[in-house]
Chains A and B, each alone.
Chain A
């Protein structure tokens, strides 16, 4: 973002969009977390073999593989980050 090149009106618009965007974000953050978890579970069921969960690679998986590059990347990264789940959840669930 390069605010210096924007006019005051554009900056104000960006400010309002950002400010009210925070409200919208608070209406979906837990749902987004659940969705991410469900997608991760789906990826693990299908492609768990790639992160050490024994599951026979079916022809279905091989056919879907070109379409699931991102999911494979996300699944592998999440497998590496399994040692920080409590920290992530503690950050999500605002206590006070």
Chain B
């Protein structure tokens, strides 16, 4: 009887523990949105909703990733990843985050670097040089600070419609 009770207790405790653990984990919700960038004559940029009937090559799109910790525990080592969709090109220098620096990939996320390089064949041999930002395929940030529950962090980058 005691053994039954103990077992039941343990089971309940385990379940409780499991529930407690599940409820304590961080949960990061990602919301992606896009805006049209309008360059003003004075150099300022306005971000307006996209006119879906007028998007055309050359237009600049601003992607905004908002990461929100909807869990109860802090999310550590948050690494949001954004894509440079086919038909677009990354706008150099457009990536921003309040606390994190971006990294870029030329191969869909296999390799990353803050400033990717490519090897170029020349008559004098191979030369390593900075890659054209327009060739970036993926962007990520390493958020060093934990994202506390209910906290949000925003990550922004822009692309141009080819």
B is bound to A: no
Q: B interface vs A, CB < 8 Å?
A: none
